[in-house]
Amino acid sequence: MSRRLAGLVTAALLVLASPASALTVRDMLGRDVTLPARPMRIVSLVPSVTEIVFALGGEDRLVGRTDYCDFPAAARDKPSVGGMVNPNLEVLAALHPDLVVATDEGNREETFQQLGRLRIPTYLVHASRLAELLELIARVGELTERQAAVPALTGAIRERIEGIRRAVAPYPRPRVLYVLWPEPLIVPGQSSMLTELIELAGGSSITAREREAYPRFSLEAAVTRAPEIIILADHSSGISTAGRPSPEKWQRLASVPAIRAGRLYSVDLSVLHRYGPRVPDGLERLAHILHPEAFP
């Protein structure tokens, strides 16, 4: 991370509220969050934040997580407060957190209000660009007092992403339809990090100009835009059918270039949706799908 960015993040985060130990931190939505002292007991309602905490070595500060915070494996040893949408606030409060880290993408406004009534400080995060992911890592480093570990982690992420970008740069960019959710059809739009990642992997998303971050899309619109590659994100696990794509529906669209070329993929790229330290893993796999010729 550049010195300028580090300075800006530090200045935004650590504004002393009084001469005593109390402090005020500013979250990623610009909200001032006042804490009696540096947080020693943190509950994460965001899987990517949980991964970042562990990647920075700050897991001793983490006292709670959601059911979806399942990586690394050691995260599962932390007490769970339930789901992201409906966490059990009674269980959460019993953990006596100094701070709850939540997101405006996945958690509910009602949850924030309830935490406010319980007088539990809540720090909101948001990352829709890679630059914001790197900023998020720096902020988590500040919250957990693991600032010294931030440059190595962000540097490694930058290096891997740049390597992928260089590998695919010589090749033409195919038109890509990325289906984030099958029913209703949800795709990445203009302000989604997925759109940026598709570009970095050497593709051109056919839904990149959609104004919403994750708009609904129609099958007819997809056919009209003639994607050369179709990727169906597979969210299913075990015997669950939730989020399981239906390739058969797409294979009937013989006029679509992707179908004619046999370039319809159904893959688990969930690490791309988490916006944490493993984003380069997902990006590399995406680049292999788009440009296998770049990775002999």
pLDDT tens digit sequence for 12-23:
444 333 444 678
C-beta separation of 50 from 56 below 8 A: no
C-alpha to C-alpha distance for 122 and 4, rounded to whole angstroms = 27
In contact, 137 and 155? CB cutoff 8 Å: no
Give the strand pairing for 264-267 and 204-205. unpaired
Tokens of 51: 């991964």
Kindly list the strands in the beta sheet with 122-125, ordered across the sheet, starting from the edge strand earlier in the chain: 62-64, 42-44, 99-103, 122-125
Residue 4 has pLDDT above 80, yes or no: no
Q: Which of 2-6, 144-148, 260-264 has the lowest mean pLDDT?
A: 2-6
pLDDT at 201: 98
Q: Is the pLDDT of residue 239 over 80?
A: no
Q: What's the pLDDT at 247?
A: 79
- Residue 197's Cβ-side half-sphere holds a number of Cα atoms within 13 Å equal to 31
Q: Residue 33 pLDDT > 90, yes or no?
A: yes
Integer Cα distance of 271 and 274 in angstroms: 5
pLDDT value, residue 176: 98
Domains (range + CATH), the chain:
3-126 (3.40.50.1980), 171-294 (3.40.50.1980)
CA separation for the pair 170, 166 (Å, rounded): 8
* Each residue's pLDDT tens digit, 54-86: 999 999 999 999 999 999 999 999 999 999 999
Please state whether beta strands 204-205 and 23-26 pair in parallel, antiparallel, or not at all (unpaired).
unpaired
Can you tell me which residue has the tokens 């919403």? 212
The residues, ordered by sequence, that sit 6+ positions from 16 with a Cβ below 8 Å of its Cβ are 22, 23, 24
More confident residue, 175 or 23: 175
Predicted local confidence at residue 109, as pLDDT: 93
Reported confidence tier of residue 3, pLDDT bands at 50, 70, 90? low
What integer is the mean pLDDT of 230-242? Answer: 68
Is the pLDDT confidence value at 155 over 70?
Answer: yes
Q: What is the mean pLDDT of the chain?
A: 90
pTM of the model: 0.87
Q: With b meaning 16 or more CB within 10 Å and e meaning fewer, what string describes 74-85?
A: ebeebebbbebe
Terminal Cα-to-Cα distance of the chain (whole angstroms): 31
Q: Above pLDDT 70, what percent of the chain?
A: 90
